[in-house]
């Protein structure tokens, strides 16, 4: 190519072909760099969710073992008085008559969950069995056997390095050959509260705790947030005071959540004497935390209602409050609800302030009312993540899946609500 | 009577008051156009006259009842002369605990049992008294309202004034929250600084808040030098920013300048999912997935990596922060006027040259603001570091070692049962104060920068 510029006047742009190639190459690189960055961020999202699903899917199945329970007709007649612990143990022993020593028996019992006598009792109670005899009952295996079944315990390790002894392995194989070990859907995970034994632990307690807490959060923050938004948007005179409130709300939205926890601890628990660990106290803190979100979104929803609506109502002789409550607020309601749902989703995933409010207690009961000690789903995840047993890892991931499912649903509802009611004025 | 049925009865009486006012207004005139206000406003008027005095009494009662019960109980303690070695206050607490714990009650002594019964008696008496007083005050309110009702009365104005007042009070709650945060943090921090000097706290190099039980044990007084904690926080924040700033900014540039509107509409909410994932999930991910990978990788290269390395927590936090930077920066880059770009293209610049030399410099203040917001988010982030970073306060710049952060310390100092006036728990509030002030300053500066920037191009 001919360079039109004489070399001696080297002032003008360098229009050489190499430079063009270089510039266009860097143009391309820059574009791909941006795409690459988005790719990294997306792949992080994929890695995160897939690692959770990969770790957690197995928790929805629980290994069960069938045992032949021998029961006398007297025991059947009076189920509530029968010694099911004894019945269970004799039934287990009779399957393995060669087990004699105390230590071996203890190991044998450890194949099963330590709550199986209750399971067996319930089996007889539920099926209304009237006569004695031998019944085959599927009961939960212990967490270690469960892990073995799911392939998380390496059989080739030396005996001292694994949680299951050689003898237990032998018994397990024997049962397995007889087709008496099966994985069944883990109902307990959805119907039980927390437990020290992984196979008996469930998320129901935490789920109910979350619902109670969110209920308090919603009934406190939604009316107050909407009220504040209406006042600030429609009634407050624009002056120093309203500026202050506005700046204050924006800052409050960015205060770290744990600081709200400190506020709750110092003011709600220690000063007002609210009950520790209770949904009512936790919900109140979350309400303060989500308030800015709701106020901000409600204000933008109110702003989106065109002034012509207000003018028409005022022109027809409505008072300012009537204009607001009868015309503007109903039109802004979908937007406000969307904001509220997003705020609730935020509150549902929040952990740190609730740690401060004492909702980290180990609670084996499903909370019944707003002042019972309770825990919430994210805190349950936090607690299980700390537990050393391998079986809790999959349960933690499964609980995360449930939590994410709730969050996705809430956000989808918000999006649909917005789509459905979105109006171009 | 439990709270739920109490609320139900209250609401029933409230609607009764409304209906009464409504009916009364209609019955007082032959034809409703003679009324100054709509009949429903008369209803609201009566309902307000019922609810407000009753609620004021309720709040008042909430504060006064414990004091009355306490004084009566103290009186009976004095008459039975049962004190032994305890003080009246301790005994009173004991009784309150016994009253809620039926299991411990079985083993309580007879005298205590009597006091517990007296306490419970007073409590139930208090509840009935409360209901009686509350409803009679409310009825008095209805009576007054009934006297004031007349067809000519400006009921709408009165009701609307009250409604507006209630709305105003709602907006003040946000201010009260801030004041509550500042006061509670300040108050507890001042108590802390009475025991530990601020200079030691801010500049001390040694942090070990575990106070010993006996004074002759090692570390009996605890050490409250917070510099290692601040350093740890900064280290993790720095790692997070090293991850988040390039990825977030490049994503924002791509979304704003290169992506088709369709792609952008799809990718932006998808990236924002990263910010919507609960932090406890990131914490779990960091502790159980990322940390072992980093550890394994580091060890294969012959490095010693702590199992709770700052790197794992920082990386995952960085991923969480990405959307904070990308979304806000995207908005800001979009706000750069098209004329600047057109000018640059007219000079023969390519797209990337335009972005690097024209758009980014123009958007720089706004981007700086978004980064500051992200930094403040990272400093205040709790769960990721609680689960994935360490507890030991070590002064180090090595990202492979375990460090601790302000939020981790607040959580570990305050979770669990503890007395509330030891320096250990109060230290958490001092740390909280530092956290609050720092994030507040970052936020304010960021908001000012972003606002200035917007004004420049609007």
In a shared domain, residues A301 and A375? yes
Find residues 267-326 of chain A whose CB sits inside 8 Å of chain B. Answer: 267, 270, 288, 291-292, 295, 319-321
Complex prediction ipTM: 0.89
Taking only the tens place, the pLDDT of each residue in A137-153 is 888 888 888 888 888 88
Mean residue pLDDT of chain B comes to 85
Diameter over CA atoms, chain B: 98
Please indicate, yes or no, whether residues A411 and A301 belong to a single structural domain of this protein.
yes
Residue where the block lists tokens 């009364």 = B24
Q: Answer yes or no: is pLDDT of A8 > 60.
A: no
Q: What is the pLDDT of residue B79?
A: 67
- Long-range CB contacts (within 8 A, 24+) of B142-146: B142/B17, B142/B20, B142/B46, B142/B49, B142/B50, B144/B49, B145/B21, B145/B45, B145/B46, B145/B48, B145/B49, B145/B50, B146/B20, B146/B24, B146/B46
Taking the C-alpha atoms of B14, B17, B22 and B26 in order, what is their torsion angle to the nearest 10 degrees? 170
Residue A6: what pLDDT?
53
Q: At residue A9, does pLDDT exceed 60?
A: no
Q: In sequence order, which residues have a C-beta less than 8 Å from that of residue B163 and are 6 or more positions away?
A: A321
Interchain contact, B443 vs A254, CB within 8 Å: yes
Residues A386 and A268 in one domain: yes
Tokens linked to B142? 């209805």
- Can you give the pLDDT at residue A313? 94
Q: Is residue A34 part of a domain?
A: no
Report residue B143 as tokens: 């009576």
A238 in the same domain as A139:
no
Mean of pLDDT values over A394-422:
90
Question: Which A positions 213-272 lie with beta carbon below 8 A of chain B?
Answer: 223-228, 230-232, 235-236, 244-245, 247-252, 254-260, 262-263, 265-267, 270
C-beta atoms of A259 and B175 within 8 A: no
Are A250 and A144 within one domain? no
CA distance B193 to A179: 68
* CATH number (domain holding residue A301): 1.10.3720.10
Query: Whole-model pTM?
Result: 0.88
- Does a structural domain hold residue A22? no
Whether A300 and A333 map to the same domain: the answer is yes
The reply to whether A153 and A228 lie within a common domain is no
Q: Looking at per-residue confidence, does A424 or B34 come out higher? A: B34
Answer yes or no: is A43 within a domain. no
Q: Which of A267-276, B59-68, B177-186 has the highest mean pLDDT?
A: B177-186
Average pLDDT (B91-99) is 72
Pick the CATH number of B223-457 from 3.30.1490.190, 1.10.3720.10, 3.20.20.80, 1.10.540.10: 1.10.3720.10
Condensed to tens digits (0 to 9), the pLDDT of residues A347-394 reads 999 999 999 888 887 888 888 888 888 899 999 999 999 888 888 999
- Does the beta-carbon distance from B447 to A360 stay under 8 Å? no
User: Do the chains contact at B284 and A254, CB–CB below 8 Å?
Assistant: no
Q: Do B439 and A291 touch (CB under 8 A)?
A: no
> Number of structural domains, chain A?
2
Q: pLDDT tier at A285 (50, 70, 90 boundaries)?
A: very high
Helix, strand, coil percentages in chain B from 3-state DSSP, rounded to 5 = 80, 0, 20
- Residue A305 and residue A331 in contact, taking contact as beta carbons nearer than 8 Å: yes
What is the pLDDT confidence band of residue B240, given thresholds at 50, 70 and 90? very high
pLDDT value at B183 more than 60: yes
Task: Give the residue numbers spanning the domain of A415.
Answer: 204-421
Q: Is A298 found in the same domain as A392?
A: yes
CA B359, distance to chain mean position in Å, is: 38
CB < 8 Å to B167, chain A = 227-228, 230-231, 235
CA proximity to B400, closest of B291, B288, B310: B310
Helix (H) or strand (E) holding B71: helix B39-80
> Sorting pLDDT into bands at 50, 70 and 90, what band is B105?
low
Contact A342, A413 (CB under 8 A): no
Which residues in chain A have Cβ-Cβ distances shorter than 8 Å to B189?
none
Q: What integer pLDDT is reported at residue A229 of this predicted model?
A: 93
Would A51 be classed as within a structural domain?
no
CB contact under 8 A, B188 and A266: yes
Specify whether A93 is located in the same domain as A224.
no
**Banded model confidence at residue A309, pLDDT cuts 50, 70, 90:** very high
Q: Tally the C-alpha atoms within 13 A of residue A421's C-alpha that lie toward its C-beta.
A: 17
Confidence of residue B235 (pLDDT cuts 50, 70, 90): very high
**The two structure tokens encoding residue B328:** 């806000």
Same domain (yes/no): A140, A255? no
Shortest distance between the Cα of B301 and any Cα of chain A, in A, equals 24
Residues of B in contact with A24 (CB under 8 A): 350
Rounded average pLDDT over B240-253: 95
| Residue given tokens 């001092």 in the structure block | B430
User: Which of A214-218, B81-85, B425-429 has the highest average model confidence (pLDDT)?
Assistant: A214-218
Task: Specify whether the CB–CB gap between B285 and B315 falls below 8 A.
Answer: no
DSSP assigned state of B230: H
Residues A70, A114, single domain; the answer is yes
State the smallest CA–CA distance between residue A285 and chain B in angstroms: 10
**Smallest CA–CA distance from B281 into chain A, residue:** A400
Going by pLDDT thresholds of 50, 70 and 90, the confidence category of residue B97 is confident
| Radius of gyration for chain A, computed over Cα atoms and rounded to the nearest angstrom | 32
Q: So what's the pLDDT on residue A73?
A: 80
Taking residue A127's Cβ as centre, other Cβ atoms within 10 Å add up to 10
Give me the half-sphere count of Cα atoms (radius 13 Å) on the Cβ side of residue B450: 20
Provide the number of CB pairs (under 8 Å) joining chain A to chain B: 253
Among partner residues A45, A254, A319, which is closest to B273 by beta-carbon distance?
A45
pLDDT tens digit string along A71-124? 888 777 777 777 888 888 888 888 888 888 888 888 888 888 888 888 888 888
Whether A40 sits inside 8 A of B247 (CB atoms) is yes
| Nearest neighbour of A23 by CB, restricted to B175, B276, B350 | B350
Paired with A70 in beta bridges are A134
Question: What strands lie across the sheet with A133-140, from one edge to the other?
Answer: A133-140, A61-71, A181-185
Tell me: do A222 and A91 sit in the same domain: no
- Partners of A280 on chain B (C-beta within 8 Å) are none
Residue B83, pLDDT score: 56
Whether B381 and B275 have beta carbons less than 8 Å apart is answered as no
pLDDT in tens, B407-434: 999 998 887 656 666 778 888 999 999 9
Residue of B nearest to A249 (CA): B174
Residue of B nearest to A410 (CA): B276
Quick check: is A88 in a domain? yes
Cβ distance of A52 and B447 shorter than 8 Å: no
From the number of C-beta atoms within 10 Å of its C-beta (0-12, 13-18, 19+), residue A393 rates as buried
The domain ranges of chain B are 3-153, 223-457
Q: What pLDDT score was predicted for residue A107? A: 84
Q: Is A23 on the interface with B (CB under 8 A)?
A: yes
Q: pLDDT digit string (tens) for B196-227? A: 888 888 888 888 776 555 555 555 567 788 89
Nearest 5°: the CA angle B334, B336, B341 is 105
């Amino acid at each position: 190519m001919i360079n039109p510029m004489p070399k001696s006047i080297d002032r003008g742009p360098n229009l050489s072909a190499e430079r063009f190639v270089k510039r266009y190459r860097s143009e391309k690189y820059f574009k791909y760099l941006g795409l690459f960055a988005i790719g990294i961020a997306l792949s992080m999202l994929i890695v995160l969710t897939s690692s959770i699903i990969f770790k957690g899917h197995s928790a929805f199945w629980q290994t069960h073992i069938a045992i032949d329970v021998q029961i006398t007709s007297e025991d059947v007649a009076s189920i509530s008085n029968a010694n099911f612990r004894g019945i269970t143990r004799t039934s287990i022993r009779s399957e393995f008559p060669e087990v004699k020593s105390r230590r071996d028996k203890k190991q044998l019992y450890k194949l099963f969950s330590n709550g199986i006598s209750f399971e067996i009792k319930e089996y007889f109670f539920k099926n209304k069995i009237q006569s004695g005899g031998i019944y085959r009952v599927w009961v939960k295996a212990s967490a270690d056997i469960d892990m073995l079944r799911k392939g998380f315990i390496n059989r080739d390790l030396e005996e001292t390095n694994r949680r299951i002894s050689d003898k237990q392995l032998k018994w397990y194989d024997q049962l397995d050959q007889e087709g008496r070990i099966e994985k069944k859907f883990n109902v307990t995970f959805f119907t039980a509260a927390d437990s020290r034994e992984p196979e008996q632990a469930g998320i129901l307690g935490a789920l109910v705790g979350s619902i109670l807490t969110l209920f308090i959060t919603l009934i406190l923050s939604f009316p107050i947030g909407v009220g504040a938004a209406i006042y600030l948007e429609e009634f407050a005179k624009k002056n120093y005071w309203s500026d202050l409130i506005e700046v204050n709300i924006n800052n409050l939205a960015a205060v770290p959540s744990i600081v709200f926890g400190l506020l709750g601890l110092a003011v709600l628990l220690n000063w007002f004497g609210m009950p520790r660990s209770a949904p009512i106290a936790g919900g109140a803190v979350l309400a303060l935390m989500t308030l800015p979100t709701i106020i901000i979104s409600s204000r933008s929803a109110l702003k989106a209602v065109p002034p012509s609506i207000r003018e028409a109502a005022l022109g027809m002789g409505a008072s300012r409050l009537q204009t607001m409550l009868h015309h503007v607020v109903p039109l802004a309601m979908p937007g406000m609800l969307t904001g509220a749902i997003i705020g609730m989703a935020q509150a549902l995933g929040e952990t740190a302030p609730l740690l401060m409010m004492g909702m980290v207690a180990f609670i084996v009961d499903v909370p019944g009312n707003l002042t019972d000690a309770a825990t919430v789903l994210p805190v349950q995840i936090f607690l299980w993540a700390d537990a050393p047993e391998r079986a809790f890892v999959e349960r933690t991931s499964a609980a995360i899946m449930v939590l994410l499912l709730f969050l996705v649903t809430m956000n989808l509802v918000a999006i649909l609500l917005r789509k459905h009611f979105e109006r171009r004025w | 009577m439990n709270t739920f049925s109490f609320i139900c009865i209250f609401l029933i009486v409230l609607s009764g008051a409304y209906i009464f006012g409504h009916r009364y207004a209609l019955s007082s005139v032959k034809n409703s156009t003679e009324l100054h206000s709509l009949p429903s406003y008369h209803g609201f008027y009566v309902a307000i006259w019922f609810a407000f005095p009753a609620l004021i009494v309720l709040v008042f009662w909430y504060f006064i009842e414990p004091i009355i019960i306490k004084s009566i109980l103290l009186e009976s303690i004095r008459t039975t002369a049962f004190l032994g070695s305890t003080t009246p206050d301790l005994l009173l607490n004991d009784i309150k605990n016994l009253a809620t714990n039926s299991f411990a009650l079985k083993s309580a002594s007879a005298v205590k049992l009597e006091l517990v019964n007296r306490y419970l008696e007073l409590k139930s008496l208090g509840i009935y008294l409360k209901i009686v007083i509350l409803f009679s005050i409310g009825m008095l309110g209805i009576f007054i309202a009934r006297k004031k009702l007349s067809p000519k009365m400006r009921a709408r104005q009165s009701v609307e004034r009250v409604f507006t007042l209630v709305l105003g009070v709602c907006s003040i709650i946000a201010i009260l929250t801030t004041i509550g945060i500042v006061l509670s943090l300040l108050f507890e921090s001042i108590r802390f600084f009475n025991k530990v000097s601020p200079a030691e706290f801010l500049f001390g190099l040694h942090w070990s808040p575990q106070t010993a039980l006996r004074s002759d044990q090692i570390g009996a007084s605890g050490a409250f030098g917070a510099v290692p904690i601040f350093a740890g926080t900064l280290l993790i924040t720095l790692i997070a920013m090293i991850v988040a700033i390039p990825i977030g900014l490049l994503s924002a540039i791509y979304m704003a300048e290169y992506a088709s509107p369709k792609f952008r509409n799809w990718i932006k909410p998808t990236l924002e999912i990263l910010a919507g994932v609960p932090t406890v999930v990131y914490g779990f991910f960091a502790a159980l997935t990322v940390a072992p990978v980093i550890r394994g990788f580091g060890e294969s290269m012959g490095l010693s990596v702590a199992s709770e390395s700052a790197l794992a927590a920082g990386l995952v936090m960085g991923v969480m922060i990405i959307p904070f930077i990308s979304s806000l920066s995207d908005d800001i880059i979009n706000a750069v006027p098209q004329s600047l770009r057109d000018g640059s293209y007219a000079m023969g610049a390519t797209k990337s040259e335009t972005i690097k030399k024209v758009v980014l410099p123009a958007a720089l203040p706004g981007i700086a603001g978004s980064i500051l917001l992200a930094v403040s988010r990272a400093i205040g982030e709790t769960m990721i570091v609680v689960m994935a970073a360490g507890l030991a306060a070590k002064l180090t710049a090595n990202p492979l070692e375990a460090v601790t952060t302000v939020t981790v310390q607040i959580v570990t100092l305050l979770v669990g049962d503890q007395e509330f006036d030891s320096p250990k728990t109060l230290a958490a509030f001092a740390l909280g104060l530092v956290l609050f002030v720092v994030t507040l300053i970052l936020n304010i500066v960021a908001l000012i920068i972003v606002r200035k920037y917007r004004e420049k191009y609007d």
